[in-house]
A and B are shown apart, each in its own frame.
Chain A
Amino acid sequence: METLFFVIISLVAIISAILVITCKNPINSALSLIMTFFCLATYYVMLDAPFMAAIQVMVYAGAIMVLIVFTIMLLNIRVNATQKHSHKVLLGSILGIFTLINTVVLLFKSQAAKPVVGGYTGEMIKNIGHSELIGREMFTTFLLPFEITSILLLVAIIGSVILAKKKI
């Protein structure tokens, strides 16, 4: 049952990801990308990570995609389907498929998938709660990277304010 569900979700995710790169209209690409993000959120629930699923839906499908759709509608780009660039599509597809083959070969050759038993199991996540475990880990072990992230956000705020000026 779980395998069947996994296959269905995989099919939806891959088909909508293909639609992202094949649609002519950027709005259709954005909607397909939101579909892919929801499929990934489903995967996260299946992987015992409900907090990450919630963040995926809120941050990606909510905030970032609203920003992208807002920009597409603000710029109101006309679609011109007259341009032909077949050799570029061929070369890019060959490179992408090469990436895929390389990754899958590495995946099946590698020995890295041996289970190293860590402290966190599915029952523990269900009993204590996923967000509590994440928060405990983030504010003890990863406190310094968390603080550095705030500097990154500050830089992003200043950068986008400066880029939004009239004269640039």
Chain B
Amino acid sequence: MENLNGYLIVSAILFAIGTIGVLTRKNAIVIFMCIELMLNAVNLTFISLSRHLGHLDGQIFVIFIMTVAAAEAAVGLALMIAFYNNKESIDVEDVNLMKW
């Protein structure tokens, strides 16, 4: 696979964009979507290296990552709905009950 570095660079760029989104946005759902973006960047790395090395282990890992992402989506969105019912907002700045 001669184009491996291209895939890895695209993956690094997507990961960095996801990092910037997590660090700068205040809407909890957008932060959540940026985490999904970072997970997908890692998936791209796994699959391109798996193709490059000729092993299927990386693709099995991607399936597990997708399972974790689905579980995280279910629990995280339930948390956000519970928080919205209490505070009428999903800004991360309003999550300050345990802050001193």
Q: Using a CB–CB distance below 8 Å, which chain A residues touch chain B?
A: 2-3, 6, 10, 13-14, 17-18, 20-21, 26, 29-30, 33, 36-37, 40, 43-44, 47-49, 51-52, 55-56, 59-60, 63-64, 67-68, 71-72, 74-75, 77, 83, 85, 88-89, 91-93, 95-97, 99-100, 103-104, 107, 113, 115-122, 133-134, 137-138, 141-142, 145, 149, 152-153, 155-157, 159-160, 163-164, 168
Going nearest first, the 9 A-B pairs with the smallest beta carbon separation are A92-B23, A118-B54, A96-B20, A21-B21, A100-B16, A156-B71, A92-B24, A163-B78, A118-B55
Q: Using a CB–CB distance below 8 Å, which chain B residues touch chain A?
A: 1, 3-10, 12-27, 29-30, 32-34, 36-37, 40, 43-44, 47-48, 50-57, 59-60, 62-64, 66-75, 77-82, 84-86, 89-90
B interface majority secondary structure: helix
B67 contacts A17, C-beta separation under 8 Å: no
Question: With A3-B3, A100-B13, A152-B71 in contact, is A37–B79 under 8 Å at CB?
Answer: no
A interface majority secondary structure: helix
Interface CB pairs A-B, < 8 A, 22: A3-B3, A17-B13, A17-B18, A26-B30, A36-B37, A43-B7, A48-B51, A52-B59, A64-B70, A67-B74, A68-B33, A68-B77, A92-B22, A92-B24, A93-B23, A100-B12, A119-B55, A120-B56, A133-B56, A138-B60, A141-B57, A142-B60
Question: With A29-B33, A75-B81 in contact, is A36–B14 under 8 Å at CB?
Answer: yes
On chain B, the residues within 8 Å of A120 by CB distance are 54-56
Report which of A33, A52, A74 forms a contact with B81, defined as CB distance below 8 A. A74
Question: With A92-B24, A97-B16 in contact, is A119–B44 under 8 Å at CB?
Answer: no
